[in-house]
Amino acid sequence: MKLDQILEKNKAVILQGWVEIILKAYPDETSRFIKSRKDRFDNPVGHAISTGVEGIFNCLVEGGNERIASFIDDIIRIRAVQDFRPGQAVGFMFQLKSVIRDVVADDLARQDAGLVRELLEFESRIDEQAKLAFDIYMKCRERLYELKTDEFKRNTFRLLQQANLICEVEGQDASAN
C-alpha cells in the first residue's frame, strides 16, 4: 500500500495520537477539559488544536500549502504565549513524525523500499513546515514586544504632544505604530 493510502486510512488514529501528544504538555485536569469541551468559544485552545492538526495534516497529505500557514498560526499563536520554550512551542510539528512511524511500523517491517522513500519525503515536508512554524513563533513573540511599546505610546502620546515634546511631520502620523 502506498503511503498516502495508509495515511488516509489511518487519519483518525494519527490525528488522535497527535492531539494526545500535544496535550501531554498540559496538566491532567487541563488536558481533560481541552479534550472534552466541544464548544469552540468555551474552549478556544481545544478548538485551535483539533482543527489545526487536521488542517495541517490534510495540507501535508494533499500538498495544499496555501492554507497550512493559517492552521499552524492558530496553534502557534497560542503556544507563543503559553510559557513553552521556543523548541517546545514548535516541537509539536516534529511529533507528527513519531505518530506516523507507529502507524506504518508494520509496513516498514516488510522492508518496502518504496514506502521508506515516500515516508522520508513526507517527513521532509513536515520539516519544511516546521521551519514555517518557527517563523510564525518568532513573529508572535516580536509582535508581543511591539504591542508593549504600542500601548506605551498610546498612553503617553497625548501628554507628549501637549508638552510640545513631539511633533507631526507632514504626511506622517506621529502616533502611528
Partner 1 sequence: MAKLPKPEELGKIDYTPPSTGWMDTPVEFKPGYFCNAAKEKNLAGLHMPNARTWSVKDEDWKLPDNWKEIIMEGLRERLEKYRSLRIFMDICVRCGACADKCHFFIGTGDPKNMPVLRAELLRSVYRKEYTTAGKILGKFAGAREMTIDVLKEWWYYFFQCTECRRCSVFCPYGIDQAEITIVGRELLNLLGLNIDWIMGPANACYHKGNHLGIEPHTFKSSIEFFLDDIKTITGIDIEPSFNRKGAEILFVTPSGDVFADPGTYTAMGYLMLFHELGLDYTWSTYASEGGNFGFFTNNELAKKLNAKIYAEAKRLGVKWILGGECGHMWRVLSQYMDTWNGPADFLEVPKSPITGTVFENARSMKMVHITEFTADLMKHNKLKLDPSRNDDVRLTWHDSCNTARGMGLLEEPRYIAKQVCNNFFEMPENTIREKTFCCGSGSGLNASENMDMRLKGGLPRANAVKYVHEKHGVNTVGNVCAIDRATLTTAIDYWSPGVRVSGLHELVANALVMKGEKTRRTNLRFEPLPGVEQVDDDQPEEE
Contacting positions for partner 1 (CB under 8 A): 26-27, 29-30, 32-34, 36-37, 39-45, 77-78, 81-83, 140, 143-144, 147-148, 150-152, 154-155, 157-159, 161-162, 175
Return the residue matching grid coordinates 507631526: 168
If the CB atoms of residues 13 and 120 are measured against partner 1, the closer one turns out to be 13
Q: What is the CA radius of gyration of the chain?
A: 22
First to last CA, the chain: 55
* Of 61 and 78, CB closest to partner 1: 78
* Cβ 120 to partner 1 shortest distance, Å: 29
CB nearer to partner 1: pick between 109 and 167: 167
| Least CB distance to partner 1 at residue 110 (A) | 27
The backbone torsions φ and ψ at residue 57, rounded to the nearest 5 degrees and listed phi first, read -60, -50
Contact 99, 162 (CB under 8 A): no
Give least dist CB 11 to partner 1, A.
18
Nearer to partner 1, 122 or 137 (CB): 137
Min dist CB 55 to partner 1, Å, is: 14
